[in-house]
Amino acid sequence: MVESSRCGGTALRNLSGDKGTILVVDDEASIRRILQTRLEMIGYRVVTASDGEEALSAFRLLTPDLIVLDVMMPKLDGYGVCQELRKESDVPIIMLTALGDVADRITGLELGADDYMTKPFSPKELEARIACVLKRRSHKTSINTIPNSLVIHVGNLKIDINKRQVHKNEQRIRLTGVEFSLLELLVNHSGKIFSRAKILQQLWGFVPEMNIDTRVVDVHISRLRTKVESDPNNPEFIITARGSGYFFPRIIDSEQE
C-alpha cells in the first residue's frame, strides 16, 4: 500500500521493505519521477524536492539518510544547499551535474559532497553508488555499539576507529563519512601506498574510467588535510607518494581503550 503526504512542495511516499530514506532534489520532474520509481522499487523511501529551498526544508523535517542533489536549480542551487547542509550535518550527498568544466564538477566535492555523477547518468550506476555510500554509513552505526574501541594516537591526533571520531589537540574535529572512511583506510594500512584508482575502488566501489574520476580522491584528500594537518601544505599524516598515490606513515603508537 502506498501512502502519500505533502510537506510544502516536497513529496514523500512510504513503501514497505524500507532500506532508508533518500531525498532526491532536481528541478526536472522527469528525473524526480524516474529516480523515485526506481529507488522505491528496490526498497527505499523517497522524498522529492524541486528546488534548493524545498530541499533544506525537507531535510530538516525528515532527516533523510542520503541526498541526491542536482546542481542547477532555481532559488538556491545545489552548491548553496550543500554548503548549508555541511554547517549542520554530515549526511551523505551525491551531486548530479550537467556542467562540463572539470573545476565546476568538483566544486561540490570541495563543499563537502561525498560523490558526484554527470548528466546524463545511468540510474543503475547511481543506485550502486547510493548502496555503497549507505553501506559505509551502516557500518558506522553498527560499529558504534562495540563497547571497546581501538584508539590510535599519532602526533596530536587521536583516532577512534570504532566510534569513528577524530580529536586534534584534544578537540573533536568533524569529518564527513567519506572523509573518515578515507582516513580509516590509510590508517589501517599505514605505510602502504594506495593509488587513486585503488582508493576509488575501496571506498566508492567502482573502477575509474577517466582521469576526472580520480579527482574525487584528490579533493577529499585536500579536505581531509585541512582538518587533520597542522599545515596542510606540508602534511605529516596524509602523505603524497609522487606518481603513486597516498599513504599514512607507519603507526607505532596505538592502544585499546
Where are the domains positioned within the chain? Answer: 3-141, 145-256
Long-range contacts of 75-84 (CB under 8 A, 24+ apart): 75/51, 76/51, 76/52, 77/52, 78/25, 78/52, 78/108, 79/107, 79/108, 79/111, 80/52, 81/25, 81/52, 81/55, 81/56, 82/108, 82/111, 82/112, 82/113, 83/111, 83/112, 84/56
Q: What is the pLDDT of residues 197-228, one digit of tens each?
A: 899 888 877 665 555 567 888 889 999 999 99
Q: 257 pLDDT exceeds 60? A: no
pLDDT grade for 70, boundaries at 50, 70 and 90: very high
Q: What are the helix (H) ranges across the chain?
A: 29-41, 52-62, 78-85, 102-110, 123-143, 177-188, 196-199, 211-228
Q: What residue type is assigned to position 213 of the chain?
A: D
d(CA 89, CA 168): 20
d(CA 171, CA 174): 10
Q: What residue type is assigned to position 122 of the chain?
A: S
Residues 6+ apart with CB under 8 A from 234: none
Q: Name the more confident of 43 and 257.
A: 43
Would you say 183 and 158 are in contact if contact means Cβ atoms under 8 Å apart?
no
Residues 6+ apart with CB under 8 A from 149: 160, 161, 162, 163, 256, 257
Q: What is the pLDDT of residues 7-57, one digit of tens each?
A: 444 554 444 447 899 999 999 999 999 999 999 999 999 999 999 999 999
Residue 204, Cβ density class (10 Å: 0-12 exposed, 13-18 middle, ≥19 buried): buried
Q: What is the pLDDT of residues 122-175, one digit of tens each?
A: 899 899 889 888 877 665 544 344 444 588 888 899 998 888 889 999 999 988
CATH architecture of 3-141: 3-Layer(aba) Sandwich (3.40)
In this prediction, residue 1 carries a pLDDT of 28
CATH architecture of 145-256: Orthogonal Bundle (1.10)
Would you say 13 and 43 are in contact if contact means Cβ atoms under 8 Å apart?
no
Q: Name the more confident of 4 and 254.
A: 254
Under DSSP, the state recorded for 61 is H
Q: Which of 123, 101, 98 is nearest to 42 (CA)?
A: 123
In this prediction, residue 142 carries a pLDDT of 42
pLDDT grade for 101, boundaries at 50, 70 and 90: low
Q: How far is CA 43 from CA 102, 126, 147, in A?
A: 34, 15, 31
In this prediction, residue 26 carries a pLDDT of 96
Would you say 114 and 93 are in contact if contact means Cβ atoms under 8 Å apart?
yes
pLDDT grade for 97, boundaries at 50, 70 and 90: confident
What's the whole-number mean pLDDT along residues 78-107? Answer: 85
